[in-house]
Amino acid sequence: MSVDPNARPQDRPSGGPNGQSPGGAARCAVPVLVGAAVAVVLGVYGRFHDPAGTAFNLAGFSSTGAVKSWLATAAFAFGLVQLLSATAMYGRLPGVRPAAWTPVLHRWSGRVAFLLAVPVAVHCLYALGYQTQSARAAWHSLLGCFFFGAFSAKMLLLRIERLPGWLLPAVGGLVFAALTVLWLTSALWFFRTFGVTT
């Protein structure tokens, strides 16, 4: 991805609410608002639809919890690739010079991580819903919605030119941080509670 870490912020005043060619803050506002809407919609769906309790399982796994834990673990592993490839692209990885394939690696590891996370989220929202009984469930619910909102915002921000240089790393960092906490509060908890089972 041709991200220029030294891009300067755009400080022209907003050109209008329709997002045709408005200035800095307003141009970022649309993706951020869309991301926020995604997060809120997921949360509202999780809170107000009746958790089904069950959903289909994948062959070879003992429970949906195990399936989700492994999918989440795989997604988190690709998330780590994301972190490393992004740091490399921005030249912040000591001793590593970004190669031509680094952006490709970043894009595809991101896609894979996202697509691995989607079934997990669908199951969470469909079968379990938005829960607040325990701190673990509450943080997981909140950050789960936040993650997909932030990810949507990140994807949409990528399409906008001349962003403030710090913005993509900041949003990407938020996405990765959310994913980390999501993994800690779900898969790690599952493995510690039920054992590392498949």
Partner 1 sequence: MKRAGPLITLFAGLLLGLFMLSLNATTGEPAPTSLDRSAVSPPASPTPPASPPASPAQPRVPAVRSPSPAPPRDAKYAGRTQDDRASVAITLRKGKAVAYYCDGRTQEAWLRGDVAADGSMRLKSKSGATLDGRVEADKVDGTVTVQNAGHPFTAARAAKPAGVYRATTEVRGTKVDGGWIVLQNGRQVGIVNRDGEPAAAPPIDPRTGAVTIDGEQVTARPVAP
Residues in the site for partner 1, rule: CB under 8 A?
A: 1, 50-61, 107, 110-111, 114-115, 118-119, 121-123, 126-127, 129, 131-134, 152, 154-156, 158-159, 161
Q: Return d(Cα 87, Cα 111) in angstroms, integer.
A: 17
Minimum CB separation from partner 1 for residue 94, in Å?
29
Closer by beta carbon to partner 1, 97 or else 192: 192
61 or 191: CB nearest partner 1: 61
Residue 153 CB, shortest distance to partner 1, in Å, is: 10
The residue (of 13 and 53) whose beta carbon lies closer to partner 1 is 53
- Smallest separation, CB 162 to partner 1 (Å): 11
Query: Which DSSP state fits 184?
Result: I
Q: Which residues of 68-94 are buried (b: 16+ CB within 10 A; e: fewer)?
A: bbbbbbbbbebbebbbbbbbbbeeebe
Contacts 24+ apart (CB under 8 A), 168-176: 168/3, 169/5, 169/86, 169/90, 172/82, 172/86, 174/150, 175/147, 175/150, 175/151, 176/79, 176/82, 176/83
| Smallest separation (angstroms) from partner 1 to the CB of 55 | 4
Q: Among residues 96 and 112, whose Cβ is nearest to partner 1?
A: 112
For partner 1, the closer of residues 126 and 191 by Cβ is 126
In the complex, what is the shortest distance from the CB of residue 24 to partner 1, in angstroms, rounded to a whole number? Answer: 18
Gap between the terminal Cα atoms of the chain = 36
Alpha carbon distances (Å) from 99 to 9, 55, 107, 189: 26, 43, 14, 37
